[in-house]
Structure 1
Amino acid sequence: MPPSARGMRIGLFGGSFNPIHAGHLLVMEETLRRLELDAMWVLVTPGNPLKNHDELRPLAERVRAAREAIANPRIHVTGFEAQKGFRYTWQTVRFLAQALPDRKFVWIMGADSLADFHRWERWQDIAATLPIAAYARPGASHRALASRTALALAHGQIDQEDASILARLPAPAWVYLHGRQSSLSSTAIRARKPQVNEN
């Protein structure tokens, strides 16, 4: 795991990053700034259980590419989930909460992931363990904010103007962040059909 210290506010941004692109970097930088995080850990997963792995590049290759793409010294890339044998996010979240209880972790995801969050294994346990920040993605806002997860956790939502306090709040707590967006997607890049940025 990346280095950390007691009391640090750390964002956890998981994904296949197959490949990493400017849209990912935008979310990292925006959430790091707006949540006033001390660091962000980019968790390069062995593979999303909800996705086809036919085009999935080797983990080491994806970790290396992510490290080469990220210049911010507060953003650290790790593939430790594979080393621990974790397949699901709830396993990662439970482990970190138990191993580093004096850190303040926040789960970071795009709006498209929030829309499908109820399909994640033990999603309620994830939401009950640490705060969540969802960042706007083109065409996903309505679906995300009307999702089963958003409705179930409505009582824990805070205004985006208060995003800087999210890491200090007890779970369940979450924020939806509007802001600059990119329409790039890993799927489109793999298909050699990169889309134009919408900034």
Structure 2
Amino acid sequence: MKIGLYFGSFNPIHIGHLIIANHVVEHTALDQVWMVVTPHNPLKNKNTLLDDYKRLDLVFLATEHYPKIKPSDIEFKLPQPNYTVNTLVHLQEKYPKHTFSLIMGEDNLKSLNKWKNYEVIIQNHEIYVYPRVNSIAITEENKAFKDNSKIHFIDAPIVEISSTFIRENIQKNKNVQPLLPAKVWEYIDHNNLYKK
């Protein structure tokens, strides 16, 4: 089975995440997309970050009607801080019959050359890149990415919804319901999340 890994803090997951994940799984050779919830980075400020398992619950609620999109807590079980290259090795050992690809925005591709062992990632895995409003600037460092046969640029919808925007507007008592799957909104509202 061909699995696309879509990493994120999903704090909270919103319709933009689902639009991208669904587009990628429906318009590429991938069989499933796994939404990999990244655990709290001990070096980052946790003030605005929900508990790991609450964010995972939200991803479960958001994806329950999408049979090709699955939540994943795989990184919760790995030593922190974690690197994508280590997660990929772990997954390949755990699921030897699957092949794993990465899904990322063009903005992340810009800094891929700064990732730990990025050459190993590209050598062993396909990468599906979705567009952002500010498309990638061609630099000497990333020019090779544009021409690499392992990197696929997808003609996906450009979605500019951010979890930060949603959190800030919940704090201001603004209605953000249209930006969230219904059950995600109900969970956030019922549990009074992101109010402080």
Instruction: Tell me the TM-score normalized by structure 1.
Output: 0.75
Structure of higher CA gyration radius: 2
Aligned to 1:63: 56
Greater alpha carbon shift after TM alignment, 91-100 vs 47-56: 47-56
* 1:105 matched to 2:108: no
Q: 1:188 to 1:94 in 2, by over 3 A?
A: same
Corresponding position: 1:185 with 2:162: yes
Q: CA deviation at 1:104?
A: 1.9
**SS of the residue 1:19 aligns to:** coil
Distance 2:43 2:66 in 1: 30
Pick aligned residue for 2:12 from 19, 28, 48 = 19
Q: Please report the RMSD computed on the Cα atoms of aligned residues, expressed in angstroms.
A: 2.5
Structure 2 residue runs of 5 or longer lacking an equivalent are 180-196
| Equivalent residues of 2:5, 2:101 under 8 A apart | yes
Q: Matches of 1:35 and 1:49 in 2, distance apart?
A: 35
Opposite residue 67 of structure 1, the aligned amino acid is F
Residues of 1 paired with 2:142 and 2:13: CA distance? 27
Give 2:194's aligned residue: none
* Equivalent residue, structure 2, for 1:114: 109
CA distance in 2, matches of 1:132, 1:51: 26
Give, in whole Å, the separation in 2 of the partners of 1:50 and 1:134.
27
Q: Distance in 2 between matches of 1:47 and 1:129?
A: 27
Structure 1, 43-52 or 118-127: larger mean CA deviation:
43-52
What SS does structure 1 have at the residue aligned with 2:70? strand
- Assess if the C-alpha contact under 8 Å between 1:13 and 1:107 holds in 2: yes
Counterpart residue number, 1:152: 144
* Counterpart selection for 2:77 from 76, 83, 88: 83
Distance 1:148 1:72 in 2: 39
SS in 1 for 2:152: strand
Rounded to whole Å, the distance in 1 between the matches of 2:83 and 2:99 is 20
Q: Secondary structure at the match of 2:156?
A: coil
**One-letter code of the match for 1:103?**
H
In the alignment, is the contact (CA less than 8 A) between 1:12 and 1:105 conserved in 2? yes
Instruction: Give the C-alpha shift of residue 110 in structure 1.
Output: 1.5
Alpha-carbon distance in 2 for matches of 1:109, 1:180: 14
Amino acid corresponding to residue 120 of structure 2 in structure 1: D
Distance 1:126 1:49 in 2: 24
Aligned to 1:136: 131
What is the deviation of 1:45? Answer: 0.6
Distance 1:121 1:57 in 2: 26
